[in-house]
Amino acid sequence: MLVNTCIQGVLDTDFYKLTMQQAYLHQAPGVEAEWEFHCRSDEDLTPYLDLLREELDGMQRLVVTLPQLRALSRQAPYLQTDYLDFLYHFRFDPGLLHLGIDKGGLSIRARGLQTDISLFEIPVLATLSELRNSVRYPEVTPEQIERSTLSKIAELHRLGDSVDLAAFRFSDFGARRRFSFAAQQQVLGLLKQHLPEQLAGTSNPLLAQHFELPVVGTMAHEWLQTHQGLNYPLASSQKVALENWLREYHGQLGIALTDVIGIDAFCRDLDFQLASQYSGFRQDSGDPILWGEKLLARLEELKIDPVDKTLVFSDGLDFSRAVALYRHFLGRVKTSFGIGTWLMADFGVNQPLNMVMKLVRVGRQSVAKISDSPGKILCRDRAYLNLLMEAFAVEASVRHQVLSQVM
């Protein structure tokens, strides 16, 4: 592993970046795109600009080694030979990143082929987080990380006193906002040691190999957003994206993301064929109980027994929230939980950054994620947002809320 960068290799990322990169390579190889960084925390990040540029420039040296590639092939046999060869030769091109200061804040953009720039998302966020944390929080030592993590593990054991946690499973989703690589590695080791039955895996392929854990992840918002900019009628873009994912992976990565437009629009697109072929659905915004109840009602309308499906929750979770959701749906549907920032960036004496890097354009077309929490909207193209919400029959109250946030 390289030691002169915050990122330890091409596989030090979220697994779904790889699964989507394969799908882009096969289904949209020439598509150009633009990504944009947004920080939701009220914090000046401009002092880290030079350090960040230096670290990101160093990413051009990162590679996938042959042993890592062979291990990845065993971890994920649905990754095809042509893609593994592409990944082996893949190199980050820092020239596709544009860093600077805009309106007094840190500006980061990536422009280029989607196959080339999509993988920047996680390293950019993780690097910025680690640089900032190393300066602001020297008190977050390995000893503090261990104390905090053991306290969280003890909390889960206490929660198990009031509900049977035999079927409770969670995964590490913390790569993007982790305190540091060393912190993620340390925490994952403690979780594997103390919660071996509950820990289902990690989204970080590099650490999955290191700890011999399952690697987890399917699709992200960008997959469905990309289809908004391809040559499909806008109103059918979400359904086509879901169908194309099935065509790529034949049901092996069968968790569908539901909130690019919102759960109501998703349920309208969810017909019997899609619902039968997907093994589950992921919630990443909005009220998780309302979301789950709407999905269960839709499955019942389609005469599909939800007991064999999985609801994956991944929006701002800790063990207490996860166990409450587990308890609510217990016996009706399987559940799983992706927990990121709370495990990998919050150690009781520091404040994690709330930041994202999102797809904003495909070709010459704006794209958008509305979500079930409209406050997360990033698109600034009012005309496109109106068109998108009209195409998906988004409720008038949600339209007003979304448009009120666009300058």
Q: Is residue 334 part of a domain?
A: no
Specify the number of domains making up the chain: 1
Q: Please indicate, yes or no, if residue 228 is contained in any of the structural domains.
A: no
CATH of the domain at 28: 3.20.140.10
Q: Which domain holds residue 92?
A: 15-137+354-368
Per-residue pLDDT of the chain (407 residues; tens, 9 = 90+): 334 479 999 999 999 999 999 999 999 999 999 999 999 999 999 999 999 999 999 999 999 999 999 999 999 999 999 999 999 999 999 999 999 999 999 999 999 999 999 999 999 999 999 999 999 999 999 999 999 999 999 999 999 999 999 999 999 999 999 999 999 999 999 999 999 999 999 999 999 999 999 999 989 999 999 999 999 999 999 999 999 999 999 989 999 999 999 999 999 999 999 999 999 999 999 999 999 999 999 999 999 999 999 999 999 999 999 999 999 999 999 999 999 999 999 999 999 999 999 999 999 999 999 989 867 787 889 999 999 999 999 998 888 888 888 76
Looking at the domain assignment, is residue 169 inside a domain?
no
pTM over 0.75? The answer is: yes
Residue 158 lies in a domain: no
Asked if residue 5 is part of any domain, the answer here is no
| Burial profile 71-105: b = 16 or more Cβ within 10 angstroms, e = fewer | bbeebbeebeeebbeebeebebebeebebeeeeee
Residue 378, in any domain of the structure: no
Is 211 within the bounds of a domain? Answer: no
